[in-house]
Structure 1
Amino acid sequence: MATKKPTGFEMPDQFRQMAEGNVKQAQQAFDEMMSAMQKAVTTVESSASTVQTGALDFNKKALGYAEENVAKAFEYATKSLQVTDMQDLMQLQNEFLRTQMTALGEQARDLSDAVTKTATEATKSSDK
């Protein structure tokens, strides 16, 4: 049996197992919350006015982005538990932060565009 080469960064198995369990529990709780929120959004969808439709679209987008961002955070957490040295952890963290900042910028622009579109459409329909 080959011995492990010491890396200076080792996570005890018990801590790793506990952390993995915590990540799984948090992800399960989040999934349940998202399911409840999606049901609530679906219930509200029966409204037909322009502003309500725009708000529903905005909420769906925001919920979708929240779900996407949390999924990425769980993916990062899972990957970080598998890292064996500090340099790899720092590289993983930098990559995660860089991609998330880019995604958040794109999401903010998309949500802003959705609000602008809804306001424009609401103004047009009130002019009729």
Structure 2
Amino acid sequence: MTSNGRDHFEIPKDVRSMAETSFDQARKAFEQFVSNAEAAAGRIEERNSTMRAGARDISTKALAYAEQNVQASLDYAQSLLKAKDFTEIMKLHGEYVQGQMRALAEQASEMGQTVGRAAMEAVKPNN
């Protein structure tokens, strides 16, 4: 360690706690979103073969969203490891939370549209 103490960087407990809380909230929101999507997919899949295609689309989207969100979390964690100071940590955290909230809003909108299309297909009379 140098005499000025800059070689050893420790993330303050309050910052770590705030980051963990935000991460847990984002994870819970996404888990609820996936749970709701899976429940909707399960109900839709009970219809007919037309709906099975819609359910597969919903499941595929849910998995893709999960992968995107996990990758974003891993990227965020990696960026925190490279942070040089508290200011940079706070900037990274703010960017991550804002990005995840935007991503979750977009994902929810897209999933809602997909579920809506699948539901409309389910109620169409067979010719």
**TM-score normalised by the chain length of structure 1:** 0.63
Q: Deviations over 1:22-47 (max 9, x none)?
A: xxxxxxxxxxxxxxxxxxxxxxxxxx
Match of residue 55 from structure 2: 55
- Cα gap change, 1:59 to 1:116, in 2 (>3 Å): same
Q: C-alpha distance in 1, partners of 2:3/2:62? A: 45
Q: Which runs of 4+ in 1 moved over 4 A?
A: 3-7
Gaps of 5+ in 1: 13-47
How many residues are treated as equivalent by the alignment? 90
Unaligned runs of 5+ in 2: 12-47
Taking a change above 3 Å as real, the CA distance of residues 5 and 96 of structure 1, as seen in their structure-2 partners, is farther
Amino acid at match of 1:86: F
* 1:83 to 1:4, Cα distance in 2 relative to 1, 3 A: farther
What's the counterpart of residue 99 of structure 2? 99
Identity %: 37
Amino acid at match of 1:10: F
Question: What's 2:113 paired with?
Answer: 113
Give the SS at the match of 1:110: helix
- Alignment root-mean-square deviation, CA: 2.5
Higher relative contact order (CA 8 A, sep 6+): 1
TM-score by length of 2: 0.63
